Structure 1
Amino acid sequence: MVISRNTTCPKKQVTQTRQASASSIAVSFLVVAPLVLSTALAPAQADDTHNHSDETEFYIGLDGLEVFPTGTYAGLENPNYNRLTFLFAHRHEETPESNHFHGIGAYSYSGSLDNLTINSTNTNNRIPESYSEQPPQTLLLGTGFYAGRLISTPTNKEYSNLTIEPVVSLKASKKLGNQYLFNSSNGRWQSSIEGANVGLELASISTGLNVGDSAGVDIFKSVGDIYTIGIGDNFSFTPTFWTDAAAPLGTYSASFKLVDLGNGNNPIPFKESGTFSFDFEVKTVPESSTVLGLGIVGLLALSLSRLQKLTRNSLN
């Protein structure tokens, strides 16, 4: 009778089992990691290109408030009355009844009541608004007409959609949020600007920063130039701010005011707005895929290192 014997050492059996397990885990990780990387990259890339600012954020209105009803200067004439005003729309998805405008390009008072000064701007005259503590909008690589340039681009951040429309364009909207916005501040901004020939006048601009139209053509050559952005209550204009792709890192700004150029239909042009500014930055931004890829490669290397250590311990 032949007796079959298992001559394998129990310790060696354990070691072989652990080696097989370690190898299996390592192979599984190598197979899964690319799938994780592929899955993770898809939404990251989508977020980089998807425009979450679906609503117009910037408007031009005519200030209809004659006298300040409250505040430090209550009872005084509003220096913005019957002036064109550059406005930012604050929208609240969960509480649309709270939607309202902030005057960005507006005149303001300063000083005591017996020593008043009228200023041609105000403390809330920048985009992004200073109180938000949001950094300047990052200029991103352009395409098409703007290939080889860094440009202002709509992103998921507030203030990034630079389309400008008249406030009255909200009047016929069927969206509840737009109706609350149009009727905010007791209808202060509802007046029509029909007959106005609205121009955007360049007040100042950083060296290296430019402003173009949808065809990639610069709309300003020097400070003081005025570009017609629309007539009356029905227009839509989106400026594109850009620098050369090799522009030095840093913050770039441009300041403007709105003027009514007049066209005969409005014999008495509306008063000009206060000045307002846009801030942008050129900075080094790593590709999301690069950052994520490096993270997964690091995780993979760490896991393999631990597996190798486990294998060495099994052999001892």
Structure 2
Amino acid sequence: MPTAVAISQLNFSPVQASSLTDELHHFMVAIDGRETLSFGDYAGLANPNLSRLTMLYPHFAHDDEDVSSSHFHSIGSYSYTGSVDSPTVIDTSTNNQIPEYWTDLPPINLVPGTGVFADSLVNEITPSSAENYNNLKITPIQILEDYLDDPAVNALYNSSDGAWTGSLGDAEIALELISITDGLNVATLDGTNLFDEVGDTYVIGQGDDFSFTPVFYTDQDANSGNYSVEFRLVDLQSSNPLPESGRFQINFQVRAQAQVSTPEPSAIISLISLGFGLSYMYCNRKKTF
């Protein structure tokens, strides 16, 4: 099972995010500190995801909502199935898809790329406060600590009674490839493929301070339809590794016109600029399911 490590990425021009919450609308890695479940059919039972690596997606309060309602959803965490009296632990949950199933949003579009992805269809990024799931950057939750003077960020960070704020310590966080649709690929921003086969792992960062933006792409003449990839988070440090996360899936689509149309500039992969612009900004500011 080969293991790859995130390489130093190319320098690209930073872009200005439209707001702080727009900038932070991306995946975050945390450790689940909830000892018992507080909602749903299994409320009161021991949390089967306790102390595990967990992929989180933030939901910030909208303009007409109290900022204190900002919260995370865990994506694909360990959960229960079966009767409450004799439940079975499984390594995923009903909320294990991106876009999240309850939003009824379509899969993320794959659109004509630029630069090293000029001959490919790549995941579309549309910078927006809308929860469109297009920003697939991954950081630890601890990056929020630089922004806690913002009420919405503070509420997000401390949601679920601070259950997500535990340090990742010396964890060597990697994505493990569980499954992938034929024709879909995962790469770094400079075009280096992350995986050769199912079961491979790729280290995206260490501890409480990293940022990694994967690129998902197909050939430019890929068949129209849906494509998906399934991962889990694993800790590859040799001593006392954190327990792995549950399984989660990211869904994409190639629309029939994608191969021949030219996307609007605001919607193109600018991916490379956006991913690095946001990392640049971090460096320079130095209801949960």
TM over 0.5: yes
Aligned to 2:10: none
Task: Determine which structure has greater relative contact order: mean sequence separation of CA pairs < 8 Å that are 6+ residues apart, divided by chain length.
Answer: 2
Residue type of the alignment partner of 1:67: T
Report the Cα offset of residue 139 of structure 1: 0.5
| 1:172 alignment partner, SS class | helix
Aligned to 1:240: 215
RMSD: 1.9
Mapped pair 1:76 → 2:22: no
Which protein is bigger by CA-based radius of gyration?
1
Alignment counterpart, residue 59 of structure 1, candidates 23, 28, 31 = 28
CA contact (8 A) 1:56 1:165 kept: no
Whole-Å Cα distance in 1 between the matches of residues 105 and 193 of structure 2? Answer: 27
Report the Cα offset of residue 224 of structure 1: 0.3
Aligned to 1:278: 250
Q: TM-score, normalised by structure 1?
A: 0.71
Residue type of the alignment partner of 2:190: A
| Structure 2: tracts of 5 or more residues without a match | 1-14, 265-289
Aligned to 1:215: 190
Structure 1 residues 288 and 282: CA distance shift in structure 2, 3 A: closer
CA contact (8 A) 1:57 1:90 kept: no
Whole-Å Cα distance in 1 between the matches of residues 263 and 90 of structure 2? Answer: 44
CA contact (8 A) 1:84 1:273 kept: yes
CA contact (8 A) 2:112 2:262 kept: no
CA contact (8 A) 1:51 1:154 kept: no
Structure 1 residues 199 and 143: CA distance shift in structure 2, 3 A: same
| 2:95 alignment partner, SS class | coil
Whole-Å Cα distance in 2 between the matches of residues 121 and 200 of structure 1? Answer: 15
CA contact (8 A) 1:108 1:118 kept: yes
Between the aligned residues of both structures, percent identity stands at 43
Residue type of the alignment partner of 2:234: V
| 2:23 alignment partner, SS class | coil
Q: How many residues align?
A: 238
Aligned to 1:295: none
Aligned to 1:190: 165
| 2:156 alignment partner, SS class | helix
Aligned to 2:72: 101
Cα deviation, 1:200-244, whole Å, max 9, x if unaligned, reads 000000000000001111001100000000000000011100000
Residue type of the alignment partner of 2:188: D
More helix by share: 1
Cα deviation, 1:144-167, whole Å, max 9, x if unaligned, reads 111110001211452000111111
Q: TM-score, normalised by structure 2?
A: 0.78
| 1:181 alignment partner, SS class | helix
